[in-house]
């Protein structure tokens, strides 16, 4: 039997060129090797105030972006978190097992509390437990996590321990971090010392996969470089230029050495113009597929319902076992 991989993304911001290169482009390979579940974490998004109309539209948008990027809804189970009520049911049971001291250690709560001082809500404090429920509900073997989420996976593993200490083993799998082939690390266009992020408040720092051609060209051409003239890959001294060369290398299939040779004696502007054209052409079919999908919300609703139904079949098996184990009556 194939191992199960689960990954969720909060429906805030837009997926970026960095997401495409660093992760999603490799997800298409995973769908033939593993049983993959990808969910839209709309419940997690509620820890920060969301305009209801914007949240609904962005949820559709994220789903359409996933499909436009090549994730097959037949090979993968792609669904909306709030459509599978078992997530919140299991989260409550796990909340009743999790010591507050463990939640107090979560560095993301401290960081987000500082960022959202007017909305430090209980959901912001307890959402790592909902994240644990997301994972454990599907008997997940592997979870792709970045450094910022590794602490939450450790808490999830701790929660399995709390459950087994009270009720015994055999209900949940112990999830592991997935360390697979990752694409190049793509940095911010204006601040190449930090990673390109879909939640960045500065629109100039990232290329969205659904940006139009003019916007992509403008962002690439205005990307930070340095005062030099030689087109050489040097991440330490030429961070901005090296970031652009990395993007160029990945999308074109050309090595860094080939690019250095091709642009010998040329200016940074030449490389930016060519790179902008390459990014536009790479993302053009994605944008076209996305636009087509967003014009047919009924079709998206059908796909979302199908994904949720398939996810719920798996989730119900786990939750029924949890109910039986903790003493709740089955309905």
Place of tokens 């030689």: 230
What are the backbone dihedrals phi and psi of residue 78, each rounded to the nearest 5 degrees, phi first? Answer: -115, 125
pLDDT at residue number 1: 83
Phi-psi region of 130 (alpha: psi -120 to 50; beta: other; left: phi over 0): alpha
Q: What are the chain's domains? A: 4-183+297-326 (3.40.50.620), 211-292 (1.10.240.10)
pLDDT at residue number 123: 87
What are the backbone dihedrals phi and psi of residue 77, each rounded to the nearest 5 degrees, phi first? Answer: -100, 110
> DSSP H helical segments within 35-193, as ranges?
42-45, 52-68, 86-95, 100-104, 107-115, 122-136, 147-167
In this structure, what DSSP letter does residue 329 have? P
pLDDT in tens, the chain (331 residues): 899 999 998 888 788 998 888 767 677 778 888 999 999 999 999 988 899 999 999 999 999 999 998 889 999 999 999 999 999 999 999 999 999 989 988 877 667 766 767 778 888 889 999 999 999 999 999 998 766 678 889 999 999 999 999 999 999 999 999 876 656 789 999 999 999 988 888 999 999 999 999 999 999 999 999 888 899 999 999 999 999 999 999 999 999 999 999 999 999 999 999 999 999 999 999 999 999 999 999 999 999 999 999 999 999 999 999 999 999 997 7
In this structure, what DSSP letter does residue 113 have? H
pLDDT at residue number 120: 81
Write the pLDDT tens digit of every residue in 204-251: 999 999 999 999 999 999 999 988 889 999 999 999 999 999 999 999
Q: Collect all residues with Cβ–Cβ distance below 8 Å to 224 and sequence separation of at least 6.
A: 189, 190, 191, 192, 240
Buried b (16+ CB within 10 A) or exposed e, 116-142: eeeeeeeebbbbbbbbbbbbbbbbbbb
Beta strands in the chain, from DSSP E residues, in sequence order:
4-10, 35-41, 77-80, 142-144, 176-178
Q: Which tokens is 322 given?
A: 């949890």
- What residues are annotated to the active site? 112, 195, 198
Longest dimension (CA), the chain: 75
Hey, what's the torsion of the CAs at 38, 44, 50, 52, to 10 degrees? 60
How far apart (Å, rounded) are the C-alpha atoms in residues 88 and 66? 24
Write the pLDDT tens digit of every residue in 265-303: 999 999 999 999 999 999 999 999 999 999 999 999 999
């Amino acid at each position: 039997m194939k191992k199960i991989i689960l990954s969720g993304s909060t429906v805030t911001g837009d997926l970026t060129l960095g997401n495409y290169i660093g992760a999603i482009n490799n997800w298409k390979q995973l769908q033939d090797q593993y049983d993959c579940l990808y969910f839209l974490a709309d419940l997690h998004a509620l820890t920060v105030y969301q305009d209801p109309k914007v949240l609904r539209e962005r949820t559709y948008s994220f789903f359409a972006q996933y499909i436009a990027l090549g994730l097959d809804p037949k090979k993968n189970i792609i669904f909306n978190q709030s459509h599978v009520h078992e997530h919140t049911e299991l989260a409550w049971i796990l909340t009743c097992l999790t010591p507050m001291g463990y939640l107090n250690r979560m560095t993301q709560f401290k960081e987000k509390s500082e960022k959202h001082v007017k909305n430090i809500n209980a959901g912001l404090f307890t959402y790592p437990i909902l994240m644990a429920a997301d994972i454990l509900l599907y008997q997940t073997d592997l979870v792709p996590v970045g450094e910022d989420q590794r602490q939450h996976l450790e808490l999830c593993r701790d929660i399995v321990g709390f459950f087994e200490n009270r009720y015994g083993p055999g209900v949940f799998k112990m999830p592991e971090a997935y360390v697979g082939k990752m694409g190049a690390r793509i940095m911010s266009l204006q601040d190449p010392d930090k990673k390109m992020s879909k939640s960045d408040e500065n629109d100039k720092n990232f290329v969205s996969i659904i940006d139009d051609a003019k916007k992509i060209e403008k962002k690439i051409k205005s990307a930070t470089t340095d005062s030099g003239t030689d087109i050489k890959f040097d991440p330490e001294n030429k961070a901005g230029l090296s970031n652009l060369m990395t993007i160029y290398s990945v999308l074109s299939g050309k090595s860094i050495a080939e690019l250095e040779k091709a642009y010998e004696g040329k200016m940074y502007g030449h490389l930016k113009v060519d790179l902008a054209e390459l990014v536009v052409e790479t993302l053009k079919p994605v944008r076209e597929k996305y636009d087509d999908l967003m014009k047919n919300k009924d079709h998206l609703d059908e796909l979302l319902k199908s994904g949720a139904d398939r996810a719920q079949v798996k989730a119900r098996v786990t939750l029924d076992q949890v109910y039986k184990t903790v003493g709740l009556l089955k309905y």
